Structure 1
């Protein structure tokens, strides 16, 4: 039996002074003009670059090597003169790219590569990170202390594969064990817990939604779904709305706290949060993307991180620019049409074309007769479609999927169907829709 707690209870991390002050600031500043936002960004850029130059040896050497100093920053555009940094550069010399700040802690993330990457983060940055996400979640009715059913890549030894965390008012469900038997346990427990929101990896929430749809089982009414840590595809969003009849919110961010972007409450486009960091989109030549509809790599400069600063940090994630200023809600922010994902989320054809997984995005009814699927590529021009069939799957359905996928992939691509019994998870408990074994550089795209 889950002991219900008052919604007035809020964990200390969600009510400290830094968190509350930052929420207040974000609410106030979203009403600023674009000129004032630009002024804030420029001042924040100057502050973090000066801090890095004066206190962080790695950045000072990096800038001196190209003849730059903080005084060279006169406009936001001047930031483009400063060199990029990437994960490898920081990981190989993390101590020289770090300065001591009281209360800082060492954070480690494997990311999509599985290679550990550690850096230092101060407590104030973490508090502002939580507040920034909360500010975005407010757009669909989320509030501190609300009941959340969370699907995460956590190992839970108890047989139910779930655990209630009263401090956060969260019912956490392990994404490592999404069998029909366990998902039915999750479903039944939800009627006792009555969550306000579902939260987690889109791929895990998708499997749960498919289970509910295929089994015809009911689920308590919720206010919305909070999707994070993976790209959200249209076919996932469609089934979420169909099964749960609730709002779907997606946000883009990462452990480095350099860029944060989340859905508008009125339109499913990403608003980049300028108070959090400076986000650039650059093409394969490092030039700024300024044309709506054009894709670029996300480059982030964090305004929150001072222990290990991230300045012009190459995320190896990609987004498509929509423009500046949202006509629906009025916020004067940079707007992204969609997130394309990481470099390793592109399929390579024989002719050398690079196809984003968002371009292959298929309506959910195409996959009605399979339980799970995954693309797997280790040879240019050849991709495996690995699938776990349902009892209703037959050659007619297989051919239907083949024809629809080949329209997306093109003539210079061989599509191989491979029936499997299991599709393994990543080490973080995620279901990857593409396993890409070929090396890809941004300049190749």
Structure 2
């Protein structure tokens, strides 16, 4: 395990007071020492791939061949899946590429069913992780340890487009549990001022704004849905905040109305969004000057757009499913993995463009969904998502809201067994204390739409539906085309 992973895990488990005191010391550790040699090596590789298409293509080819060879040799599940397309003989890069589309797409359900049989090393030496559950069906998977320096290298490279450096401080709007009347606290070791997304009232946001201004914080990081609410407050109660040099959105798409709101509130800021997944199979940066168009990083993974039959979409403008193969963490290879997202092809990957697939209008696993707090404020649903063992023990789940401040978590039991959700509800309700209360509802099935889809959230309050409709208005045509 990498020292950075060990340190981060130990730091996160410390009491808040101890963590803050230690963090003030760690804040002054030079970034080169804090992130280590692996981080520096990958920053250099990423930069070289950006300016040298031949290097990018060759590096991806070599990593792909090594991954598939390892999967076929060390995993019984992968040996069975790959044999029909690749046979049992020696592999070379050209043969692998020629046979690639014949390898079946791997679904999340298959990952859960196969489990440890997909691993190429002792599962006890891997970390257990779970997707965010935004599809209503979370996926448990295993992933290599020691990944933090590599992940930071790609994220910091993306944020560098906005002028961000590893030693800079961010105001972070994500779904963290923050106690106290001001609903914010410092994480100095990580360079973060954490702001609760569950209490975005004018009074609380006034405190956020005052702290950001007083500390000269130049970067905002978090859910676009939460940042847009803060941006609207800034415009309503203050004036455009010109000290912000970068907005670093994560976890959600940025529809045009939200982007305009952010640009008005923070006119000097560069937006530097990236696309990533919990499963660590794909990473893409938004193309400069082309909002909502993303280029995938060839060193991180191999991403394709495929049609319903699993065949590549080759015509620019064609839509399909995003299928990705992660190249960095081979402990449990995810080869041609169904991400659950859809996109429109702009430019296929090729040696000429350094194996960088370009897409636009990525339709995520869920859109911009909001809950309504007891005081009437909007709460981004992304912040409430938590996938614990209880959720993994059910067949399906769905959030339902019929009145402000109250949310029902509907679950469909698996094999008639209902896990104990007491702890789950306590943790969820503590996050949004005073604004939201979650309760459990056991159902036989989750109703579907006329198209057969199951809504991740059944939101029945007009104010939240209107906000989500405004945020996602430019997705409607793409979603219809995908259906």
| 1:20 maps to 2:40 | yes
Q: Could you list the per-position Cα deviations for residues 324-343 of structure 1 after superposition, in whole angstroms to 9, with x for gaps in the alignment?
A: 589xxx8762222332223x
Structure 1: distance between partners of 2:349 and 2:87: 32
Which residue number in structure 2 is paired with residue 131 of structure 1?
153
Q: CA deviation at 1:57?
A: 2.1
Corresponding position: 1:48 with 2:67? yes
SS in 2 for 1:151: strand
Paired with 1:65 and 1:212, the residues of 2 have a C-alpha distance of 58
CA separation of 1:229 and 1:418: change in aligned 2, threshold 3 A: closer
- Distance of 1:227 and 1:54 partners within structure 2: 39
Q: Does 1:314 align with 2:333?
A: no
- Which of 207, 228, 243 is matched with 1:221 structurally? 243
Decide whether the 8 Å contact of 2:86 with 2:99 is kept in 1. Answer: no
Instruction: Find the partner of 1:68 among 70, 75, 87.
Output: 87
Q: Tell me the distance in 1 between the aligned counterparts of 2:246 and 2:286.
A: 13
Partner of 1:196: 218
Instruction: Please say which of residues 91-100 and 290-299 is displaced more in the overlay.
Output: 91-100
Alpha-carbon distance change, 176 to 371 in structure 1, aligned in 2, over 3 angstroms: closer
How far apart, CA to CA, are the structure 2 residues paired with 1:219 and 1:258? 36
Among 162, 165, 168, the residue aligned to 1:143: 165
Change (3 A) 1:30 1:179: same
Q: Which moved more, 1:89-98 or 1:124-133?
A: 124-133
Matched, 1:37 2:59: no
On the 8 A contact 1:301/1:311 being kept in 2, the answer is yes
Quote how far apart the aligned CAs of 1:31 are: 1.7
Select which of 87, 90, 93 maps to 2:114: 93
Structure 1 position 39, deviation (Å)? 2.9
Residue in 1 that maps onto 2:186: 164
Shift of 1:148: 0.4
Pick closer, same or farther for the CA change 1:106–1:117 going to 2, 3 Å.
same
* 2:107 matches 1:83: no
Task: Please give the alpha-carbon distance, in whole angstroms, between the structure 1 residues aligned to 2:182 and 2:206.
Answer: 10
RMSD: 3.8
Contact in 2 for aligned 1:190/1:220 (Cα 8 Å): no
Looking at structure 2, the residues matched to 185 and 70 of structure 1 have their Cα atoms a distance apart, in angstroms, of 64
Q: CA deviation at 1:129?
A: 1.8
Deviates more, 1:222-231 or 1:112-121: 112-121
The question of whether the paired residues in 2 share the 8 Å contact of 1:373 and 1:423 is answered with no
Rounded to whole Å, the distance in 1 between the matches of 2:330 and 2:287 is 29
Could you tell me how far apart the structure 1 residues matched to 2:463 and 2:195 are? 23
Residue of structure 2 in register with 1:378 after alignment:
none
Q: What is the CA-CA distance between 1:300 and the residue it aligns to?
A: 0.5
Aligned to 1:391: none
Q: How many residue pairs are counted as aligned between the two chains? A: 369
- The Cα of 1:204 is off from its aligned counterpart by 0.6
- What does 1:295-310 correspond to in 2, within 5 Å? 295-310=319-334
The whole-number CA distance in structure 1 between the counterparts of 2:195 and 2:108 is 31
Structure scoring higher RCO (CA < 8 A, sep ≥ 6) equals 2
Listed as ranges, the gaps of 5+ residues in structure 1 are: 346-356, 358-369, 375-385, 389-416, 435-440
Conserved 8 A contact 1:372-1:423? no
Moved more, 190-199 or 122-131: 122-131
Which of 195, 199, 202 is matched with 1:177 structurally?
A: 199
In 1: Cα distance, 2:200 partner to 2:147 partner:
34
State the TM-score, normalizing by the size of structure 1.
Answer: 0.73
Shift of residue 6, structure 1, vs aligned partner: 9.6
* Counterpart in the other structure of 1:106: 128
| Distance of 2:256 and 2:466 partners within structure 1 | 23
Asked whether 1:122 is paired with 2:144, we answer yes
SS at match of 1:111: coil
Residue deviations 1:26-65 (CA, integer Å, cap 9, x gap): 11122223x5433322221111111111112221222236
The reply to whether residue 254 of structure 1 matches residue 277 of structure 2 is yes
Compute the displacement of 1:107 (Å): 1.8
Secondary structure, counterpart of 1:262 in structure 2: strand
Q: Deviations over 1:205-264 (max 9, x none)?
A: 011111222234554611110111011111111111111011111111111111100123
SS at match of 1:17: helix
Match of 2:76 in 1: 57
